[in-house]
Amino acid sequence: MPSSVRAGSLKDPEVAELFFKEDPEKLFSDLREIGHGSFGAVYFARDVRSTEVVAIKKMSYSGKQSNEKWQDIIKEVKFLQRIQHPNSIEYKGCYLREHTAWLVMEYCLGSASDVLEGKTHSKNSSCSI
């Protein structure tokens, strides 16, 4: 990496390859908020290319502690790319738009806390991502 490229920057090829280049607002429709956490909101959405239903976690990396937020997003994407197991939520990709990462995952009913608490799955929630 050239010395002029800051580690963790989108100019770093290793970081740039973590994110799809397309505009997520053109790829996903019917966004409806289904949950909210400390890192952002989770949305129900539909992939316009396949009509598949997905869950999208939108995480802003602007404002206070923007560099820390950006580094957390990079770590999460790298981690999710490595997980491939039939019992885990499928990672579909990550897009960037206006200082917000769109983390796209398989949609499922219920949440991780529902599983831990033994609750019945609800149609209005997504698995935690």
Binding residues: 58
Contact (Cβ atoms closer than 8 angstroms) between residue 60 and residue 78: no
DSSP class of 89: P
Task: Name which of 67, 68, 76 is nearest 102 in CA terms.
Answer: 76
28 forms beta bridges with 47
Amino acid sitting at position 41:
A
Tokens of 63: 């404002």
Calpha distance 49→20 (Å, rounded) = 15
Contact (Cβ atoms closer than 8 angstroms) between residue 24 and residue 102: yes
Binding-site annotation, residues for ATP: 58
